[in-house]
Amino acid sequence: MKKKEKQIETSMIHSHQNNSQEYKGSLTTPIFQTSTFSFASAEEGAGRFAGEEEGFIYTRLGNPTVKVLEDRISTLERGERGLAFASGMAAVSAVLIALTKAGDHVLCSNGLYGCTYGLLRMFEDKYDISHDFSYMETEEELRKKITAKTSCIFIETPINPTMKVIDLSMVARVAKEYNIPVVVDNTFCTPYLQRPLEHGCDIVLHSATKYIGGHGDVIAGLVVGRKEFMDELAMSQQKDIGGVLSPFDSWLLLRGIKTLHVRMDRHSSNANKIAEKLSHHPKVKKLYYPGLENHDSSAIVQKQMKTGGGVLAFQLDGSKEEAQRFMNQLKLIQIAVSLGDAETLIQHPATMTHAVVPEEKRKEMGIGDSLIRLSVGLESVEDLWDDLELALNQI
């Protein structure tokens, strides 16, 4: 009889859980806070370096605590292997370096996190690796943007911060015609809300700093993909560049993952209620949240996402100064970049997370001076709305 696959909520808690005698029966994965591992003999050490014998050598090359995290995220994303990095940008950098060489071209969704955009600009300036943006709304548009030099397609969905949703199955279908790998930044959704590999994409990555950690106390990145590519990534970009995650930070993420599904349900529920209220406020010119039925990509959302997630954005009917004045009136909600914390966080993309993007490009991405991004936390919706409404009424 075929073994039944566990539901994702169960896998978040039990997948690759170690409580063997080797770990003295510890229910919680132990923290192997060591830089190196000793060998029983010189021959054993030689065998491990040659890849002929299993075992750990040096924490930059692998660590038991880190491996449990890597195995768990791979299971949750339905991939073949996972790797942990010291930050989300370390993960993005490793993947893009692995997939490109001088003279190549990267096709991106029309909207990226500011630091990802900055990395691509550096690639262009230093290594002649060009990039273009696409709305990725139709197959025809996508094919027009692909060139003979296109080495990968890099997608955020929902896009940060405009919350535009891209049809992953459509992009993957076109990319396969050209044998181009598709990379998806799944930070806003986590594997609980969206699993890009199940829609035909090749590599999925996260800033695990956000929802996967969930408590604002760790910086980390995760990547999942096919074993062949991930093995190469581990032996080149991860090992040689060295942006690896520490055992303690891995332990923090393992702790966070255990409650991920509960938190994401609450984040999404709160965000949906706040979005509904904001959509009817006279000071809000436009609202961006994929969980609402009238979102312009609602059909795609229903196909590939469990809910709309915990992040929304809205455009105030006013100037940059009025947007800043509104934020300064908030008492409960914290002005801070990042997202996915228990606390509700608010930020101004044009002057904060996307300040590195030139103004013309920012506006093309839909990031105007009055656009505000809100990461809705786990607090009472009533208290959050009281804070927002009071501040809105002050502008």
- pTM score of the predicted model: 0.94
The torsion region of residue 32 among left (phi > 0), alpha (psi -120 to 50) and beta comes to beta
Which H/E stretch holds residue 204?
A: strand 203-207
What 3-state DSSP class applies to 108?
A: strand
Averaged pLDDT, 9-36: 80
Please indicate whether residue 297 or residue 221 has the higher confidence score (pLDDT). Answer: 221
Structure confidence at residue 326 (pLDDT):
97
Q: Is 309 left (phi over 0), alpha (psi -120 to 50) or beta?
A: left
- Catalytic hit among 60, 173, 258, 286: 60
- Tens digits of per-residue pLDDT, 88-109? 999 999 999 999 999 999 999 9
- Reported as a single tens digit per residue, the pLDDT across 59-84 is 999 999 999 999 999 999 999 999 99
pLDDT for residue 15: 78
Domain with CATH 3.40.640.10 in the chain: 8-257
pLDDT tens digits, 110-132: 999 999 999 999 999 999 999 99
Residues above pLDDT 70, as percent of the chain: 98
Sequence-ordered list of residues with C-beta below 8 angstroms from that of 197, at least 6 positions apart, any chain: 77, 78, 79, 204, 224, 225
Question: Angle, to 10 degrees, between the axis of helix 88-99 and the axis of helix 114-127?
Answer: 40
CATH architecture of the domain 8-257 equals 3-Layer(aba) Sandwich (3.40)
> Which of the residue ranges 24-28, 178-182, 366-370 would you say has the lowest mean pLDDT?
24-28
CA neighbor of 218 nearest in space, from 114, 71, 336, 86? 86
48, 72, 113, 211: the active-site residue:
113
Residue 172 has pLDDT above 90, yes or no: yes
Catalytic residue among 210, 263, 306, 373: 210
- Answer for the pair 173, 200: CB distance below 8 angstroms, yes or no: yes
Question: Residue 104: what pLDDT?
Answer: 98
Question: CA angle 146-151-157, nearest 5°?
Answer: 75
Residue 20: its pLDDT value, please? 54
Choosing from 104, 117, 167, 185, which is the catalytic residue?
185
Q: Is 104 a catalytic residue?
A: no
pLDDT, tens only, 248-283: 999 999 999 999 999 999 999 999 999 999 999 999
Over the stretch 280-310, which tens digit does the pLDDT of each residue have? Answer: 999 999 999 999 988 778 899 999 999 999 9
Please, what is the average pLDDT of the chain? 94
What is the band of 12 on the pLDDT scale with cuts at 50, 70, 90? confident
Q: Is 217 a catalytic residue?
A: no
Annotated active-site residue 266? The verdict is no
Per-residue CA distances from 210 to 55, 108, 135, 386 (Å): 31, 22, 25, 25
Q: Would residue 210 show up in a list of annotated catalytic residues for this protein?
A: yes
Pairing of strands 182-185, 130-134: unpaired
pLDDT for 334: 98
Give CATH 3.90.1150.10 domain extents, the chain. Answer: 261-392
Pick the CATH number of 261-392 from 3.40.1000.10, 3.30.1060.10, 3.90.1150.10, 3.40.50.1580: 3.90.1150.10
Amino acid at 57: I
Does residue 36 have a pLDDT over 70?
yes
Residue 55: pLDDT band (50, 70, 90) is very high
